[in-house]
């Protein structure tokens, strides 16, 4: 069992190390250069927008880890259909 002092210290430097490593390993494992995510995000939005209206500000693109497998996860909210009718209608 962990000591009380150990529990209080849970946010010691080890948790910082783990979090930093978690992030750096995502990039090390990825064949996608760090700067390429932004470009990929913009291009995805552009392609999808040709077919359906996208809520651009809310698009999220990230690399998720499952064991040693990486998965590109995109969350692309669509604009609501029920926009108010314009005045001249």
Partner 1 sequence: MNGRVITVTSGKGGVGKTTATANIGAALASIGKKVVCLDADIGLRNLDVVMGLENRIVYDIVDVVEGRCKLRQAMIRDKRLEELHLIPAAQTRDKNAISPKDMQRVCDELRKDFDFILIDSPAGIERGFKNAIAPADEIIIITNPEVSAVRDADRIIGIVEAEQKGPPKLVINRINSDLVERGDMLAVADVLELLAVDLIGIVQEDQAVLVSTNRGTPIALEPRSKTGQAFRDIARRLAGEQVPFTRANGGGFLGRLSKLIRAGSKKDA
Binding site residues, partner 1, CB under 8 A:
2-3, 5-6, 9-15, 17-18, 20-22, 24-25, 28-29, 65, 67-68
Closest CA to 57 of 38, 37, 40, 77: 77
**How many other C-beta atoms can be found within 10 angstroms of the C-beta atom of residue 56?**
14
Q: How far is the CB of 19 from partner 1 (least distance, A)?
A: 10
Q: How far is the CB of 73 from partner 1 (least distance, A)?
A: 18
Q: What is the DSSP letter of 87?
A: T
Choose between 21 and 39: whose C-beta lies nearer to partner 1.
Answer: 21
Choose between 15 and 49: whose C-beta lies nearer to partner 1.
Answer: 15
Between CA 77 and CA 84, with CA 81 as vertex, the angle to 5 degrees is 125
Q: How far is the CB of 33 from partner 1 (least distance, A)?
A: 16
Closest CA to 44 of 11, 81, 77: 77
Choose between 29 and 60: whose C-beta lies nearer to partner 1.
Answer: 29
């Amino acid at each position: 069992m962990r000591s009380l002092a150990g529990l209080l210290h849970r946010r010691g430097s080890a948790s910082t190390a783990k979090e930093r490593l978690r992030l750096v390993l995502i990039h090390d494992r990825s064949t996608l250069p760090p700067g390429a995510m932004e470009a990929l995000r913009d291009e995805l939005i552009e392609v999808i927008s040709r077919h359906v209206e996208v809520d651009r500000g809310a698009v999220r693109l990230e690399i998720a880890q499952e064991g040693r497998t990486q998965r590109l996860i995109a969350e692309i909210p669509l604009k609501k259909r029920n926009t108010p009718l314009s005045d001249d209608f």
